[in-house]
Amino acid sequence: MNKKVRKAIIPAAGLGTRFLPATKAIAKEMLPIVDIPTIQYIIQEAVDSGIEEILIITNSNKHAMENHFDKNYELEERLKESGKLEQVKMIQDIADMANIYYIRQKEPKGLGHAVLCAKSFIGDEPFAVLLGDDVVVNKEGKPALKQLIEQYSKTSASVIGVQTVDKKDVSKYGIVEPSKSHPAKGRLVKLTDMVEKPAVEKAPSQLAVLGRYVLTPEIFELLETQGKGAGGEIQLTDAIKRLLDRQAVYAYDFEGKRYDVGDKFGFIKATIDFALDREDLHDQVNEYIHTLVEKEKAK
């Protein structure tokens, strides 16, 4: 019988240089989409997918993240004294979201090394990896990670979250190569290879790896012996390619709208869409956008 996927890793040790100067003193994962830090959306997805324990890989500059998911008794008392009981419940709920642990990645050696830092936390269980740059919304259906976990329960194999991207954009992503000898089963495809940022004419498919993984624990043995790859770092993709030689690995074209919040324009799109989705902001934001459109037309 399959072991349940109970644990998740969220690598959050990056320096966030694309968002300088904001990230000089604040972790990029704490930058808010409207009023909720991006990492809170990632953790909520994990919790909604059945994850019980989460390990966040951090660095020495990420104290604000740890504080955000901790109790703050002084703030709670001040809010109670002001009669702001809804806000008290909100910050208590944040602290109670999940069992969250932290470990520091002492050197920036890449995503593969960050995942390896979680070896003792994971043990011999299958586990999830959620990258904080990808926020996925699937209002009418299951969270992206839950979709992958369900596929793992059917296959007992590692499952990589992918989505179809425009052909002109394949060079921005890791692209998977589906097996020609194993026909796709709906959105699930068996893999024969993964290629990091291929040229458009050399891309084996348009299925791009988008920040969600369910992996078997055998990946750790490979990460321990993985040499440096792109950027002189230990790459998770390289270890997964070696895992393909040992056991089946699948990709699942998950449902949901994905926002690249590690990109400035992606972050702006997420902020606008999330604001429009809120009752307290929809009308004002909608009216403001229409005003801007009319101004542009009048030029």
Domain boundary assignment for the chain: 7-262, 263-299
Does residue 151 contact residue 49 with C-beta atoms inside 8 Å? no
How far, rounded to the nearest angstrom, does the alpha carbon of residue 68 sit from its chain's CA centroid?
18
User: What does the block give as tokens for 170?
Assistant: 């394949």
Give, in order, the Cα–Cα distances in Å from 294 to each of 56, 268, 269, 271, 290: 45, 20, 20, 21, 6
3-state secondary structure of 143: coil
- Tens-digit pLDDT profile for residues 43-58: 999 999 999 999 999 8
- Tens-digit pLDDT profile for residues 230-247: 777 888 988 999 999 899
* Helix, strand and coil in the chain, % to nearest 5: 40, 25, 35
CATH architecture label of 7-262:
Alpha-Beta Complex (3.90)
Q: Where are the alpha helices (DSSP H) in the chain?
A: 38-48, 63-68, 73-81, 85-95, 111-116, 119-122, 144-155, 219-224, 236-243, 264-276, 282-298
pLDDT at 271: 96
User: What does the block give as tokens for 68?
Assistant: 């955000």
pLDDT at 283: 94
pLDDT at 255: 93
Q: What is the mean pLDDT of each run of 10 residues along the chain (299 residues)?
A: 86 84 87 91 92 88 80 88 87 83 82 90 94 90 94 93 90 86 82 86 89 93 82 84 91 93 93 94 94 86
Give the contacts of 195 (CB within 8 A, at least 6 positions apart).
Answer: 174, 175, 176, 177, 202, 203, 204
pTM, two decimals, is 0.90
pLDDT at 280: 93
